[in-house]
């Protein structure tokens, strides 16, 4: 049930995004479009509540509950930037808006950009790991929480990779040819 809900949340994310942008630009109803875009966090709230209820009713913590926490963390860390990117692209492509800003190619600007991207991923990992830890404490009545801890280790690896990427651009900035 949890995996199905995660898939439904992901599909609903893109449906709400497409619907919000359609109302905002194609139908010229920006308030309705904004209302649809503001419904995005409700998806994660539903997933969070269903996962917590599932654990409360005695479900053994497993990889599905960990995946739900990771999904919520990634949506918190990366969802806003995805919506912002899609909005800028649609505004440019279909509403005569300015082109979306391009990624800087070289130097300090590129380094700052890479750290901002890494920061989003780090935020996603921290939120996911915090939710996993909360789940461990929530079900900590002697049930096996190893699957949740395994997800925390995976998030730690993703966090480390993103720190290394940021550091690589700091120590070895890309230079113009």
Measure the CA–CA gap between 21 and 40, rounded to whole angstroms.
Answer: 13
Q: Per the structure block, which two tokens stand in for 93?
A: 């492509």
177 within domain boundaries: no
pLDDT in tens, 43-57: 999 999 999 999 889
At how many degrees (to 10) do helices 40-56 and 63-95 cross? 170
Provide the domain count of the chain: 1
Q: pLDDT (tens digit, 9 = 90+) per residue, 124-164?
A: 999 999 999 999 999 877 778 899 999 999 999 999 999 99
**Distance separating alpha carbons of residues 31 and 45, to the nearest angstrom:** 22
Domain that holds residue 35: 2-171
Q: pLDDT tens digit string along 76-111?
A: 999 999 999 999 999 999 999 999 999 999 999 999
> What pLDDT does 80 receive?
94
Indicate the pLDDT class of residue 4, thresholds 50, 70 and 90.
Answer: very high
CA–centroid distance for 31 within its chain: 24
149's tokens: 């801890």
- In this structure, is residue 128 part of a structural domain? yes
- Residue 19, in any domain of the structure: yes
In a domain, 29, yes or no: yes
List the one residue out of 57, 74, 64 whose CA is nearest residue 127: 74
pTM exceeds 0.75, yes or no: yes
List pLDDT tens digits, range 61-81: 999 999 999 999 999 999 999
Do residues 127 and 155 lie in contact, with contact meaning Cβ atoms separated by under 8 Å?
no
How is residue 106 written in tokens?
A: 């070289």
The predicted pLDDT at position 143 comes to 75
176: in domain: no
Which of the pair, 144 or 22, is modelled with greater confidence?
A: 22
Alpha carbon distance, N-terminus to C-terminus of the chain: 53
- Residue 39 domain-assigned? yes
Q: Give ∠ CA 95-99-104 in degrees, rounded to 5.
A: 160
In a domain, 61, yes or no: yes
Helix (H, G, I), strand (E, B) or coil at 59: coil
């Amino acid at each position: 049930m949890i995996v199905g809900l995660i898939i439904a949340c992901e599909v609903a994310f893109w449906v709400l995004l497409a619907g919000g942008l359609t109302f905002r630009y194609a139908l010229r109803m920006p308030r309705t479009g904004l209302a649809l875009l503001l419904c995005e966090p409700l998806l994660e709230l539903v997933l969070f509540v269903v996962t917590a209820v599932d654990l409360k009713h005695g479900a053994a913590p497993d990889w599905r509950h960990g995946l739900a926490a990771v999904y919520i963390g990634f949506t918190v860390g990366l969802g806003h930037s995805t919506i912002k990117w899609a909005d800028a692209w649609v505004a440019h492509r279909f509403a005569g808006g300015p082109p979306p800003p391009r990624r800087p190619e070289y130097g300090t600007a590129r380094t700052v950009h890479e750290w901002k991207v890494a920061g989003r991923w780090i935020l996603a990992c921290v939120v996911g790991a915090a939710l996993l830890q909360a789940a461990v404490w929530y079900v900590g009545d002697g049930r096996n929480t190893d699957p949740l801890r395994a997800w925390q280790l995976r998030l730690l690896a993703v966090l480390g990779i993103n720190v290394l990427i940021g550091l690589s651009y700091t120590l070895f900035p890309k230079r113009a040819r």
